Structure 1
């Protein structure tokens, strides 16, 4: 009678860990809202009492460039196009509410350090931290139109914090992650 023995799991893409650099595709869903800064005009305005931004979903598509610095540290750049919807609620003095939403298209360039754990066969955990700069193609901060109460600056910057996992498959590596961007 033959004894049962555990089958050893085969390590997929073992050469990936020693590559000096690699490229990939980044797809994702995002949720965003504006961080408001009121102008002096807002305080003196006799019509609008309050402006409240809302969280709305969006989508991003980008390219990942990864440079290996050591066995446990990489530096990554992820230039992406971000499509998102912004929603605002204006509360007026006449006890009325106006809900508005508009689409925004951004080019985002996050650069971050990726700190990796030891690889466990076909799995690894990582955390990442870095900075980013965004350019909003729909910015209107220079607009002189009096009907535009909300002015959006074209450039924005902030920092990212995230955590994720690497799953090694025979033909590709899947890296899901959660990331929070602060501005």
Structure 2
């Protein structure tokens, strides 16, 4: 993920530097943002994590916390943009998000302590995009809003739980999202790298049948949080 951050920083710096100091300030795609409706698509990477809250403060102060392994994955989707005014847009960004996390339970025998949580989400954010004034061929912005997702790999209705090696999560989940990015205007299209944080609002854990389960009994809530790095083309 650090490499992605470094890549976006240098890409944005180089392109914005060229736009600010290039003497030939020809405006590309001058009218693209004046359309009432516009469309596009995005490709990107993500790193999903879990925010875990325990039932007692003792566990939070010990080394018995669950270990969460984060593995970068990817996402892809479409964009529908409604122009409200020069500085404000309403965006719908339905997409498919693949995420991979690994949970290690310290109080369970080593041979049965790891659960791979591979998730496939239908992710639908509704966002407000607040843009600054366009400078030559680039325009920075911040974005925020809410989203809903359907976890196609949740196993919520699976009768087997962790005693059979199955970690279960809820299928329907809700989030809030905040981020920022820069629109770059090229001759034939608009390219936008952006960085966004995604934060779950509800408990996604489906508990084991055994109320004293070593996997779920001491967990109060499990919420998704993650980072998206998207590359948008319009």
TM-score norm. by structure 1 comes to 0.84
Q: CA deviation at 1:95?
A: 7.2
Match of 1:168 in 2: 185
Say whether 1:29 aligns with 2:42: no
Match of 1:177 in 2: 194
- 4+ residue runs of structure 1 moved beyond 6 angstroms? none
Identify unmatched segments of 5+ residues in structure 1: 1-5, 44-48
- Residue 107 to residue 93, structure 1, CA distance change in 2 (3 Å): closer
Which structure has the highest strand share of the two? 1
My pick for the range that moved more, 66-75 or 141-150, is 141-150
Say whether 1:64 aligns with 2:79: yes
TM-score norm. by structure 2 comes to 0.67
- Residue 179 to residue 98, structure 1, CA distance change in 2 (3 Å): same
Structure 1: distance between partners of 2:54 and 2:152: 22
Mapping 1:130-169, distance limit 5 Å: 130-146=145-161, 147-148=164-165, 150-169=167-186
Q: CA deviation at 1:102?
A: 3.8
Secondary structure of 1:13's match? coil
For the aligned residues, what is the CA RMSD? 2.3
Say whether 1:51 aligns with 2:51: no
Q: CA deviation at 1:175?
A: 0.7
Identify unmatched segments of 5+ residues in structure 2: 1-21, 201-234
Q: CA deviation at 1:55?
A: 2.0
Q: CA deviation at 1:150?
A: 2.5
Match of 1:90 in 2: 105
Match of 1:15 in 2: 31
My pick for the range that moved more, 96-105 or 145-154, is 96-105
- For residues 18-67 of structure 1, the C-alpha deviation after alignment (integer angstroms, 9 at most, x for no partner) is 1111110111100002344669xxx9xxxxx6533222211000001110
Structure 2: distance between partners of 1:94 and 1:24: 49
Query: Larger relative contact order (C-alpha < 8 A, sep ≥ 6)?
Result: 2
